[in-house]
Amino acid sequence: MTGYDFSFCGTELRAMASGALFLESARALVVSDLHLGKSDRIARRGGTMLPPYETRETLARLESAIFATDPQVVICLGDSFDDLDVPASLEAAARDWIMRLQAGRDWIWIEGNHDPGPVDIGGTHRAELRDGPLTFRHIAQAGARGEISGHYHPKLSIRGTQAGARACFLIDHAQIIMPAFGAYTGGLSATSPVLNTLMTRPAIAVLTGPRAIAVPLPVARLGRQ
């Protein structure tokens, strides 16, 4: 199981190369921004007709992460569905796939800005989740401590350019911003002003891909000190 191991607010974590986060002591797997049904949502709103391959690819990635970690708890950090109409319109095979992944596990859907309410595909819906020193929510709050969030889909290139950028975790002493796990998701540069404002020095990015690679964020561009 490849990844970057680190300590955060007294908890040992692994930022996995897949873009999932694993809390071994709690046997909890965390993913963010699956955006299941994005192609369906675009089609319903009069956009380009796209085949629903992104849902299948995202669920295959999620299945691989679950197989690698065998978690007791799965926490989805919001924007799991591209809107609240998606669960009802998912093809039967995708719904069955989700329910198989949920079997025997505590499954928590944290609400996001795309899916700000409960869904009818098993699991438990929460606005946010607090567990000991950690808080799981969709959108980061400035000044939070022990916070794990998503929403921004951070990406970074080792060379500091957007070309060839990889989805990445952003990690400082108080906050973790997760990469998007979904197959058809875009991204925001990890050195963008909004992310610089949220992250403190020293901060690192852990790039996903074939293997997890930890690199420092450019110090001169970080917001708070």
* Beta bridge partners of residue 74, listed in sequence order: 29, 107
- Nearest-angstrom CA–CA distance, 204 and 5: 13
User: Where is pLDDT greater, at 87 or 202?
Assistant: 202
How high does pLDDT run on average in the chain? 87
- Nearest-angstrom CA–CA distance, 105 and 29: 11
- The pTM score is 0.90
Q: What radius of gyration, in Å, describes the C-alpha atoms of the chain?
A: 17
User: Where is pLDDT greater, at 185 or 111?
Assistant: 111
State the pLDDT confidence band at 140, using cuts at 50, 70 and 90: very high
In this structure, what token pair is assigned to residue 134?
Answer: 């950690």
pLDDT, position 224:
45
Mean pLDDT for the stretch of residues 144-148: 97
* Beta bridge partners of residue 36, listed in sequence order: 81
> What share of the chain has pLDDT > 70, as a percent?
87
pLDDT, position 54:
83
Q: How far is CA 29 from CA 32, 74, 137, in A?
A: 10, 5, 14
pLDDT tens figures, 29-84? 999 999 887 655 544 455 454 555 788 999 999 999 999 999 999 999 999 987 77
The answer to whether the CB of 100 falls within 8 A of the CB of 133 is no
pLDDT, position 49:
47
pLDDT, position 37:
77
In this structure, what token pair is assigned to residue 213?
Answer: 């690679």
pLDDT, position 120:
87
Q: Which pairing describes strands 3-8 and 11-16: parallel, antiparallel, or unpaired?
A: antiparallel
| Count of structural domains, the chain | 1
| Nearest partner of 112 among 128, 98, 123, judged by Cα | 128
The enclosing domain of 115 has a CATH number of 3.60.21
Cis before residue 179, ω within 30 degrees of 0? no
Mean pLDDT for the stretch of residues 120-149: 95
Strand extents, DSSP E, the chain? 3-8, 11-16, 21-23, 28-31, 73-76, 106-110, 124-126, 129-131, 134-136, 147-149, 154-156, 166-171, 175-177, 188-189, 204-207, 213-216
By residue range, what is the domain housing residue 182?
3-221
pLDDT, position 39:
55
> What share of the chain has pLDDT > 90, as a percent?
66
Mean pLDDT for the stretch of residues 103-120: 91
pLDDT, position 220:
45
